[in-house]
């Protein structure tokens, strides 16, 4: 039966081990490679071409490579539009605030749950709810909570706190609070994202805390250092690595986020981020070219930001 | 204990209480609303606990039947299961190769997957929509499954790789010497030992496919009978569907995820203990 499994080379000799490993490795990875090539690499190449082409949604049935004429018009139109730059500003504010908020909240909760107590397991499980809840369920519940007519938040605000009017959290671009204009809708989508993503930061930080020894802190306590000082001088420095990683991951994900914002506000009330911009170009304006160009500019900007961050980290370590 | 530490102790319990309310609160709120008639919610939004005589499960059959969420859930289930089976199969094969076999292009595989992870979904969505429309796959669940596999395989492969590293190579070599072929080896030796990892990965892929919204929106929005449940619920919010029905839908779409979580957790634990028994 073994002869069946032996693979022979063209010259009839059995393969040696490294040749066999090479062949098997390539064969086993083929299905993955094919699907990634067809549904990631090919589309990426296509978007590179489409960004330079004048194509609308109606052109799709007649689309072919040789008929495309290349132009820079899409980039010019994206680059020259005010909406693009305001979307970029919104995206940066959104990504920076959600990243900072999620990591801070994750850190605070991880520290609060660090020492064992009765029911800690249950609390840890509950913390994961926002993370595992399907995004559509989460946004639907939030929209109901914030509804101006029957939502709990506005009911509490009006009947218990004494607001004069309900607040339209998801559509209000700006509202004065004590003389300071607050971008209400943007703050709301940021709050939602912090709520939804801080459990992941919590998990990462908790995992790191579990392997960090308590002895140093105990020694510091004996020397009379308070917990706050011990936190900043002993615990936080140990968490630098995991926090740096979380900053990168969270920033990438928030920068590209479409679902959460689109489901909550549809991009209204000053929450139009770049991802929503791309969608609007594609679906509302039916312009494949400008949608592709906007998407590529967005990717390029993300890469530049990550490059700068990597450079900063490396310089700090040196 | 100085005064500062005492303040911290109080603060800690404040943080824990607040965390529990903020995390579990919205889900409980959604569940409680789904048990009340809409008229009562609109009249008294502050009275959260439904009174005994008004409790009704009516919103659930309405959501499933009248508004079609039952059918949408069936679509989602098909899509998610097909994605899990294929994505996990591909990533088992690919992940095993990436861990054990020194083949040409092994390194470039890693780079490629990192790239997949970094590319914004919305940027790929534009050309995918164009290409799949061109071959007539938008508007079908098959097209959606193919895209989901491509989106999840890199992560699944990465997850599984870590579990495969834990399988001792000596066991495999012994099996190889006993005349076990490569595929039989993966099926009989590597898979059983990495079962907890495969359960976790399957759950993760299932959750991604079940929750996915963007591609479903782009591909299927004009094909109402094929809507996935995520798309269905979001589209229903556009119409004047009572909030209680929407809450019932939101709870219903959450149940498979939570159930999967507990199921996989049991599998995870049993897989670990099965390994431990043999010492």
State whether residue B134 sits within 8 Å of chain A by CB: yes
Distance between CA atoms of B40 and B54, rounded to whole angstroms?
A: 8
Residue A133 with chain B: CB contacts under 8 Å = 27, 254, 257
Distance between CA atoms of A118 and B123, rounded to whole angstroms?
A: 47
The pLDDT assigned to B2 comes to: 63
Cβ-Cβ contacts under 8 Å for B254 (sequence gap 6 or more) = A133, A134, A137, B27
- Coil, helix or strand for B19? helix
The structural domain count of chain A equals 2
Nearest to A298 among B2, B123, B181 (CB): B123
- A87 and A40 belong to one structural domain: no
**Which residue ranges make up each domain of chain B?**
3-43, 59-277
State whether residue B94 sits within 8 Å of chain A by CB: yes
- A11 and A126 belong to one structural domain: no
Residue A144 with chain B: CB contacts under 8 Å = 29-30, 33, 243, 246-247
Count of CB atoms within 10 A of residue A230's CB? 18
The pLDDT assigned to B257 comes to: 85
Distance between CA atoms of A303 and B120, rounded to whole angstroms?
A: 11
Q: How confident is the model at residue B266 (pLDDT cuts 50, 70, 90)?
A: low
A33: Cα within 13 Å, side-chain hemisphere: 15
pLDDT in tens, B183-196: 777 777 777 777 88
- A30 and A117 belong to one structural domain: no
- A283 and A221 belong to one structural domain: yes
Task: State the distance between the two ends of chain B, measured CA to CA, in whole angstroms.
Answer: 46
For B16, nearest residue in chain A (alpha carbons) = A112
Distance between CA atoms of A48 and A68, rounded to whole angstroms?
A: 13
- A136 and A253 belong to one structural domain: yes
The pLDDT assigned to A12 comes to: 61
Long-range contacts of B18-21 (CB under 8 A, 24+ apart): B19/A109, B19/A112, B19/A123, B19/A126, B19/A127, B20/A123, B20/A126
Distance between CA atoms of B175 and B189, rounded to whole angstroms?
A: 8
- A173 and A36 belong to one structural domain: no
Cβ contacts below 8 Å, chain A against chain B, sum to: 262
Structural domain of residue A284, as residue ranges? Answer: 73-317
- A149 and A250 belong to one structural domain: yes
- A9 and A82 belong to one structural domain: no
The pLDDT assigned to A278 comes to: 92
The pLDDT assigned to B268 comes to: 55
Task: Please identify among residues 51-80 of chain B the ones whose CB lies closer than 8 Å to any CB of chain A.
Answer: none
Nearest to B123 among A26, A156, A296 (CB): A296
Distance between CA atoms of A313 and A241, rounded to whole angstroms?
A: 10
- Assign residue A257 the CATH number of its domain: 1.10.3720.10
Domain annotation covers residue A65: no
Distance between CA atoms of A35 and B82, rounded to whole angstroms?
A: 14
Q: Which of B235, B246, B188, B189 is nearest to B62 (CA)?
A: B246
Superfamily of B59-277 according to CATH = MetI-like (1.10.3720.10)
- A161 and A237 belong to one structural domain: yes
Residue B173 tokens, joined: 């070599």
The pLDDT assigned to B272 comes to: 45
Q: Are B243 and B33 in contact (CB under 8 A)?
A: yes
The pLDDT assigned to A1 comes to: 40
pLDDT in tens, B137-155: 888 899 999 999 988 888 8
- A29 and A173 belong to one structural domain: no
- A45 and A78 belong to one structural domain: no
The pLDDT assigned to B60 comes to: 86
Question: pLDDT averaged over chain B?
Answer: 82
* Residues B254, A134: C-beta atoms closer than 8 Å: yes
- A269 and A145 belong to one structural domain: yes
Q: How far is A135 from chain B (nearest CA, A)?
A: 7
Beta bridge partners of A189: none
**Signed CA dihedral, B85, B90, B92, B93: sign only:** positive
pLDDT in tens, A137-180: 999 999 999 988 888 888 888 888 878 888 888 887 878 777 78
pLDDT in tens, A105-127: 999 999 988 888 888 888 888 88
Count of CB atoms within 10 A of residue B121's CB? 17
Domain annotation covers residue A155: yes
Mutation test of the interface with chain B: which of A2, A33, A39, A268, choosing the one with the most B Cβ atoms within 10 A? A39
pLDDT reading at A59 higher than 50: yes
pLDDT in tens, B229-256: 999 999 888 777 888 888 999 999 998 8
Domain annotation covers residue A21: yes
């Amino acid at each position: 039966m073994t002869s069946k499994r032996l693979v022979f080379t063209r010259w009839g000799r059995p393969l040696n081990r490294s040749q066999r490993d090479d062949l098997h490795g390539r064969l086993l990875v083929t299905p993955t490679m094919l699907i990634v090539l067809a549904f990631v690499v090919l589309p990426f190449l296509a978007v590179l071409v489409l960004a330079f082409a004048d194509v609308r949604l109606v052109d799709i049935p007649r689309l072919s490579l040789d008929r495309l004429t290349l132009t820079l018009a899409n980039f010019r139109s994206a680059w020259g539009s005010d909406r693009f730059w305001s979307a970029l500003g919104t995206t940066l504010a959104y990504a920076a605030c959600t990243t900072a908020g999620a990591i801070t909240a994750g850190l605070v909760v991880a520290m609060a749950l660090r020492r064992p107590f009765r029911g800690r397991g249950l609390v840890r499980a509950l913390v994961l709810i926002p993370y595992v809840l399907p995004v559509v369920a989460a946004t639907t519940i939030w929209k109901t909570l914030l509804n101006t007519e029957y939502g709990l938040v506005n009911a509490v605000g009006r009947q218990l706190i004494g607001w004069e009017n309900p607040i339209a959290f998801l559509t209000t671009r700006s509202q004065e609070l004590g003389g300071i204009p607050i971008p209400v809708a943007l703050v709301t989508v940021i709050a939602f994202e912090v709520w939804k993503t801080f459990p992941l930061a919590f998990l990462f930080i908790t995992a790191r805390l579990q392997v960090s020894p308590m002895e140093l802190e105990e020694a510091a306590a004996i020397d009379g250092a308070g917990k706050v000082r011990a936190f900043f001088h002993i615990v936080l420095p140990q968490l630098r690595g995991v926090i740096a990683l979380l900053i990168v991951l969270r920033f990438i994900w928030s920068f590209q986020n479409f679902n959460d914002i689109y489901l909550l506000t549809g991009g209204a009330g000053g929450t139009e981020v770049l991802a929503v911009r791309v969608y609007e170009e594609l679906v509302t304006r039916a312009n494949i070219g400008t949608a592709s160009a906007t998407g590529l500019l967005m990717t390029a900007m993300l890469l530049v930001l990550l490059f700068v961050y990597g450079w900063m980290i490396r310089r700090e370590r040196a | 204990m100085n005064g500062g530490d005492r303040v911290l102790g109080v603060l800690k319990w404040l943080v824990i209480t607040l965390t529990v309310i903020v995390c579990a609160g919205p889900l409980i709120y959604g569940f409680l609303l789904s048990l009340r008639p809409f008229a009562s919610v609109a009249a008294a939004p502050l009275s959260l606990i439904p009174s005994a005589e008004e409790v009704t499960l009516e919103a659930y059959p309405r959501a499933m039947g009248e508004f079609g969420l039952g059918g949408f859930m069936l679509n989602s289930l098909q899509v998610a299961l097909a994605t899990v089976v294929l994505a996990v199969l591909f990533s088992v094969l690919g992940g095993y190769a990436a861990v054990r076999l020194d083949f040409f292009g092994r390194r470039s595989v890693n780079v490629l997957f990192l790239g997949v992870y970094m590319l914004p979904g919305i940027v790929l969505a534009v050309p995918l929509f164009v290409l799949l429309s061109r071959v007539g796959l938008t508007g079908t669940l098959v097209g959606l499954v193919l895209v989901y596999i491509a989106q999840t395989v890199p992560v699944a492969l990465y997850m599984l790789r870590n579990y495969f590293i834990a399988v001792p190579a000596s066991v495999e070599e012994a099996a190889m010497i006993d005349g076990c072929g490569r595929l039989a080896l993966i099926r009989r030796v590597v898979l059983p030992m990495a079962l907890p990892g495969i359960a976790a990965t399957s759950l993760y892929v299932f959750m991604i496919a079940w929750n996915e919204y963007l591609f479903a929106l782009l591909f299927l929005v004009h094909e109402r009978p094929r809507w996935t449940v995520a798309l269905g619920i979001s589209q229903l919010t556009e119409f004047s569907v009572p909030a209680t029905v929407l809450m019932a839908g939101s709870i219903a779409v959450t149940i498979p995820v939570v159930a999967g979580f507990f199921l996989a957790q049991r599998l995870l634990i049993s897989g670990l203990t099965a390994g431990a028994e043999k010492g």
